[in-house]
Amino acid sequence: MSICKIDVDQTNRELESATAFEIMQWAVNTYGQRLALQSSMQKTAGVLMHMISQIAPETEIVFIDTDVHFKETLETRDQFQRRFNLNIQTYKPLRTFEEQYSDFGRHLYLTDDSVPGNPPGYRQCCILRKEEPFIRAVKGRFDAVIGGLMRSEGGARSDVKILTPDPRIDALKIYPLARWSDQDVDCYTAEHDLPVHPLYARGFTSIGCFTCTTPIAPGEDKRAGRWRHIREGNPELQATPLYCGINIEDKKNT
């Protein structure tokens, strides 16, 4: 079933009162083998991977290996794979991190390209290492992809819909945890004794590439550790959440 065969607005209204598990079940019943799950190996992804293991364990889990993940991220992926026998498929960018450096003669992640006219910078790096590999992995293969965005994260995600068409992949994004909070995620994780990315215990609250992710200090926003070096050079960005762009919903804040 393609996204054009359902009334997205009506279905959003119907699913708004459903539980996360019920939304996952609806997604499996509706899309079957044309359904995938997108995973970053963070806590929300752990919840979703556990749920899908209970409903349809053969569902493909798409993991984008940027070549600059923390080793703990890859270890968490492998731990989930071993414990739940999941169908995790790892996809990489077309060029290695070293080849990308050679292509541009510098590290893109170090510079800001948010201002029109600036040369390629951290956003272009995210496009090459996250967004484009994700699109290549799912476009034409799946009609819907489950993700872990929550409204409680704020910023561009504060009004995320349970169902969102993503024209980049000609498919629907599905967010079963849209109405959840961090506490909900932690409670589910504890109840099912799920593996947890080790960097959470070291002050990390949003985990991406090791080149662009740091722990946060007490009182900081949970995304303050993402692209901190870009913020330090741009005071006007201090209060603005920054995103990698792999999620279409985050594009309105980039």
Question: CATH code at 139?
Answer: 3.40.50.620
Domain-located, residue 145? yes
Domain-located, residue 22? yes
Domain-located, residue 204? no
- Model's pTM, two decimal places? 0.94
CA–CA gap between residue 231 and residue 234 (Å, rounded) = 5
Give the total number of structural domains in the chain.
1
CA–CA gap between residue 83 and residue 63 (Å, rounded) = 17
- Residue percentage of the chain with pLDDT more than 70: 97
Domain-located, residue 147? yes
Cα–Cα distances (Å) from 193 to 20, 74, 79, 196, 243, in that order, read 18, 19, 13, 9, 29
Tens digits of residue pLDDT in 190-249: 999 999 999 999 999 999 999 999 999 999 999 999 999 998 888 777 767 889 999 999
Q: What is the mean pLDDT of residues 132-143?
A: 98
3-state helix, strand, coil in the chain (%, to 5): 45, 10, 45
Q: Do 169 and 135 form a contact (C-beta atoms < 8 A)? A: yes
Q: Which of 81-90, 108-117, 164-173 is predicted least confidently?
A: 108-117
Domain-located, residue 213? no
Does position 133 have pLDDT exceeding 80, yes or no?
Answer: yes
Does position 252 have pLDDT exceeding 90, yes or no?
Answer: no
Write out the residue range of the structural domain in which residue 183 sits: 3-197
pLDDT value at residue 114 = 85
Task: Assign 129 a pLDDT band (cuts: 50, 70, 90).
Answer: very high
Cβ partners under 8 Å of residue 154, min gap 6: 241
Domain-located, residue 164? yes
Does position 184 have pLDDT exceeding 80, yes or no?
Answer: yes
pLDDT value at residue 253 = 52
Closest by Cα among 92, 105, 130 to 227: 130
Strand partners, 35: 144
